[in-house]
Amino acid sequence: MSGGKASGKASGKATEQATDLPRLRKQYSEVIVPKLQTEFGYKNVNQIPKVDKVVINIGLGEATTNPKLVERAVDELSRISGQKPVVRKSKKSIANFKLREDQAIGVSVTLRGDRKWEFLDRLLNVALPRVRDFSGVSPKAFDGRGNYTLGIREQTIFQEVDYDAIEKVKGMNVTLVTTAKTDAEAKALLTHLGVPFRE
């Protein structure tokens, strides 16, 4: 009797975990994987490209004269990504740029697992549609190895950022690192995920 109860509990837990999956991750597994397999004729499921990680970078050249910008960027990127970012520091001094060695010059965060999927969902379905006069993203920002970098001009497109608390409008780069072998495969993957490429 107790074995039946235990297995019932276990299967209930498995069902609960399945429904807890991020929406975009479920869509990838259930809808996009079969589409890509048909489109490219992959023989093995492991060949099907996926988004490996998402890297978000904010460059802070002006932090050399205003160190508070780093604190604000860390706070804003934490809100946007749901994860604490890493502060990037300069490796050497450059007098022309008033840059000292080991000075904070940017912040970045690398998202994997569910956080990656949740961020992508918010980026594609909430943030990008808020860009004024948005007409899609450039299809030319692939690196030749299946990775795509999207430049965002203002952090204000993310609802998590308090507009009234912004000291300075900051841009950021969002790099979608995929396991695709070619840019064509990566573009197909990202198109199916909902990345709005310009024609």
5 burial type by CB count under 10 A (0-12 exposed, 13-18 middle, 19+ buried): exposed
Top mean-pLDDT range of 65-74, 91-100, 171-180: 171-180
110 residue type, one letter: T
The proportion of the chain whose per-residue pLDDT surpasses 70, expressed as a percent, equals 77
pLDDT at 18 over 80: no
Instruction: Classify residue 197 by its DSSP letter.
Output: B
Stronger pLDDT, 180 or 12, i.e. the higher one: 180
The predicted pLDDT at position 114 comes to: 96
Nearest 5°: CA angle at 134, between 156 and 130?
35
> What is the domain partition of the chain in residue ranges?
2-193
Contacts of 115 (CB under 8 A, 6+ apart): 81, 82, 83
Helical H runs in 43-175? 68-81, 113-122
Give the C-alpha separation, 40 to 184, whole Å: 10
Q: What are 43's two structure tokens?
A: 């023989």
Q: What is the mean pLDDT of the segment spanning 6-31?
A: 69
pLDDT digits (tens, 9 = 90+) for 86-97: 988 765 555 455
**Domain 2-193 fold:** 50s Ribosomal Protein L5; Chain: A, (3.30.1440)
Spatial distance between the Cα atoms of 124 and 137, rounded to a whole number of angstroms: 11
Q: Is pLDDT above 50 for 13?
A: no
pLDDT-based confidence at 194, cuts 50/70/90? very high
Is the model's pLDDT at 16 over the cut of 70? no
